[in-house]
Amino acid sequence: MTTSVLPQAATPMKRSKLRRSVSDSLVVTERNLVAYLRIPDQLFFSSVQPIMFVLLFRFVFGGAIATPGMSYVNFLMAGIFVQTVLFGSVSTSVGLAEDLQKGLIERFRSLPMARSAVLFGRTIADSVRNVFVMILITLVGFAVGFRIGTSFGLYLVAFALLILFAFSFSWIFAYIGLSASNSETAQLMAFPILFPLTFASTAFVPASSMPPWLRWFAEHQPVSITVNATRALMQGGPGANTAHWVILTLIWSAIFMAIFIPLAVWRYRRVG
Amino acid sequence: MNAAIEAEGLTKTFGSDVRALNGVSFSVEKGTVLGLLGPNGAGKTTTVRVLTTTLVPDDGWARVNGLDVVKDANKVRASIGLAGQYAAVDENLTGRENLRMVGQLFQLSRKDANRVADELLEHFDLTEAAQRPAKTYSGGMRRRLDIAAALVVRPPVLFLDEPTTGLDPNSRNSVWQIVEDLVASGTTVLLTTQYLEEADRLADNIVVVDRGAVIAEGTPAKLKSTLGETVLDLGFPDPASANSASKLFVGSWPAPPVIDGSMLELPIDSGPSQVMTALRVLDDAGMAPSSMTLREPSLDDVFLSLTGRRTELEEAQS
């Protein structure tokens, strides 16, 4: 069965630590994106859910929710965008839990690659996926009456801000994925975190309709802040306070990354 | 310094009470094959994980190619290959993409990684399947791809964790052939196995582990001579004929025959020719056995003679 001689060994390139981390991360990113393309039904069904939410809130609940200053569909879409990219981070934890289960992490850990690369490769690939889902949801939004009230440039700023916030948020899920005993558990563990943050927020209803204790939480938690920033960037209007919300969103993103990147990498080194 | 792998007093406890390794020590000379033999849960995989840097031992130390597996972990990783039950291939990637990815993660350029991938695919008879996702591969093809992935940089030391578990005999043979070719080209191999036959065929030295500790070591020949022997079981219609058949061998046979009911057990220590001798002796006397089995000592026999108990698997079955 051995029909030829074993190949000549190729010489590894000498790279700085940083170059190596970047190139390793990109190799793993490519691998994850190829997997997304190979299982298109997964991509399809993960887009169905946010589309359902758009239709549900636009046509079922929307008529009952009063939003001062703008039409409900324009109010809603900022919340849908945030919800969509945040729910996308579930695939970060599920993907890592699957790699762990299948022994791929074990192989990666035995390779002379950067310890952070498997995690960056995952979170970057999920960010790329988020870009596609965001474009899709924007189109669906346009179809049901969503309009940008400011400018296309500010819409793009909001887009970039959301991708960044979701990227930082997905590190929480990277940590969860490496801590879960299997991918099903990783998926289940996501909802107690995602549901309160997305629904007890300003994403779908104004916080003013909530009881005081919940209202305080809904007005101050990071998902609401990001929703407010997105809404301000896309719809503007008097009292939008855009810069305030954008800066707060950036601060929250920085906090998530500062805590959860080191924590997830620490977990990766010790996993198994 | 001629040892490619040295382990000294490795200890690892999981949780608060599962002691996976309890002071494992051994060394492997350059260019030789060490067979780490033991039942499930003996500590084989844990040992491999420590030596391949994916698990830090609680106590003890290990060196691979003279490099400490904890302090110089990344240098160790650059000089080893790992394949087997725990190190998997990515099912969604094609065979070629899998090998290219591993090559790139060994810091090869994309061009070099592609070249090595193609050469390895050809070497392992996978060229035709190169563009198919690995999930379409058979068990044997997957294992070959897995081993190929461990060879992208031609590491001087290769770890194979149960490389043939779950394979059909044909695929098992081709994996054995691959290992023999690698050793012939100077690679040091540590392989874990549950099969005495596999260790016997491939290994220069065998280390038997049980419950996280080394309980025996030596060459296959030495172990087999102390641990058990091949036995030819000859069945006869009744105890009387077994008894008369045994008389033909008493005195002339190197080891004394044993009668068990109508079964005559002849120890065989010099291979198939001795079986022919036995049959010739019977034929000359006009006797024909009604059944015949050649019984190799199994891992279980080894365990029975070393520990006085059966392997966990057998315990569970009985």
What pLDDT was estimated at residue A62? 85
Cβ–Cβ gap A111/B49 under 8 Å: no
d(CA A199, CA A77): 14
Q: At what angle do helices A40-55 and A117-143 cross, to 10 degrees?
A: 50
Residues of B in contact with A96 (CB under 8 A): none
Is A272 an 8 Å CB contact of chain B?
Answer: yes
Task: Indicate the pLDDT class of residue B136, thresholds 50, 70 and 90.
Answer: very high
Cβ–Cβ gap B153/A3 under 8 Å: no
The answer to whether residue B316 scores a pLDDT higher than 50 is no
Is B267 an 8 Å CB contact of chain A?
Answer: no
What pLDDT was estimated at residue B299? 61
Cβ–Cβ gap A103/B105 under 8 Å: no
Q: Domain segments of chain A: what residues?
A: 26-269
For residue B68, count other CB atoms closer than 10 A to its CB.
15
Tell whether the torsion through CA atoms of A212, A218, A219 and A221 is positive or negative.
positive
Query: To the nearest whole angstrom, how far is the Cα of A25 from the nearest Cα of chain B?
Result: 9
A73-130: pLDDT as tens digits: 999 999 999 999 999 999 999 999 999 998 899 899 999 999 999 999 999 999 999 9
- Closest by CA to B264, choosing from B285, B292, B284, is B292
A45-72: pLDDT as tens digits: 878 989 999 999 999 988 888 887 889 9
Cβ–Cβ gap B78/A12 under 8 Å: yes
What pLDDT was estimated at residue B84? 78
State the best of A34, A110, A113 to mutate against chain B, taking most chain B CBs within 10 Å.
Answer: A110
What pLDDT was estimated at residue A17? 87
Top pLDDT among A250 and B297 is at A250
Top pLDDT among A163 and B297 is at A163
pTM: 0.84
d(CA B299, CA B212): 17
Q: Which of B107, B116, B123 sits opposite A3 (nearest CB)?
A: B123
Rg (CA), chain A: 21
What single string gives the DSSP state of each residue in A46-96?
A: HHHHHHHHHHIIIIIIGGG---TTS-HHHHHHHHHHHHHHHHHTHHHHHHH
d(CA A90, CA A122): 11
Say whether domain B3-223 belongs to CATH 3.40.50.300: yes
On the 0-12 / 13-18 / 19+ scale of CB atoms within 10 A, B283 is exposed
Percent of chain B residues past pLDDT 90, beyond the cut: 49
Residues of B in contact with A111 (CB under 8 A): 77, 102, 105-106
CB B51, CB B14: distance < 8 Å = no
CATH number given to B228-296: 3.30.70
Task: Indicate the pLDDT class of residue B230, thresholds 50, 70 and 90.
Answer: confident
Count of alpha carbons within 13 angstroms of residue A129, beta-carbon side:
34
Arithmetic mean of pLDDT over chain B: 87
CB A170, CB A126: distance < 8 Å = yes
What single string gives the DSSP state of each residue in B210-243?
A: ETTEEEEEE-HHHHHHHH--EEEEEE-SSHHHHH
Task: Indicate the pLDDT class of residue A272, thresholds 50, 70 and 90.
Answer: low
Top pLDDT among B288 and B300 is at B288
Judged by average pLDDT, the poorest of A124-138, A244-258, B167-181 is B167-181
What pLDDT was estimated at residue A8? 67
Looking up tokens 């094609």, which residue turns up? B94
d(CA B104, CA B119): 15
- Would strands B33-37 and B205-210 be described as parallel, antiparallel, or unpaired? parallel
What pLDDT was estimated at residue B315? 46
Three-state secondary-structure class, residue B309: coil
Judged by average pLDDT, the poorest of A154-163, B107-116, B130-139, B247-256 is B247-256
Is A156 an 8 Å CB contact of chain B?
Answer: no
Is B99 an 8 Å CB contact of chain A?
Answer: no
The answer to whether residue A30 scores a pLDDT higher than 80 is yes
What pLDDT was estimated at residue A10? 76
d(CA B155, CA B79): 5
Strands annotated E in chain B: 3-14, 18-29, 33-37, 59-64, 67-68, 80-84, 157-161, 188-193, 205-210, 213-218, 230-235, 258-260, 263-268, 291-295
Cβ–Cβ gap B88/A103 under 8 Å: yes
State the best of A3, A4, A5, A6 to mutate against chain B, taking most chain B CBs within 10 Å.
Answer: A6
Task: Indicate the pLDDT class of residue B309, thresholds 50, 70 and 90.
Answer: low
Is B313 an 8 Å CB contact of chain A?
Answer: no
State ipTM.
0.88
Percent of chain A residues past pLDDT 70, beyond the cut: 96
Mean pLDDT of the region A196-205 = 91
In chain B, where does the domain assigned CATH 3.30.70 lie? 228-296
Q: Give me the total of CB pairs closer than 8 Å, taking one residue from chain A and one from chain B.
A: 121
Q: At what angle do helices A17-38 and A117-143 cross, to 10 degrees?
A: 50
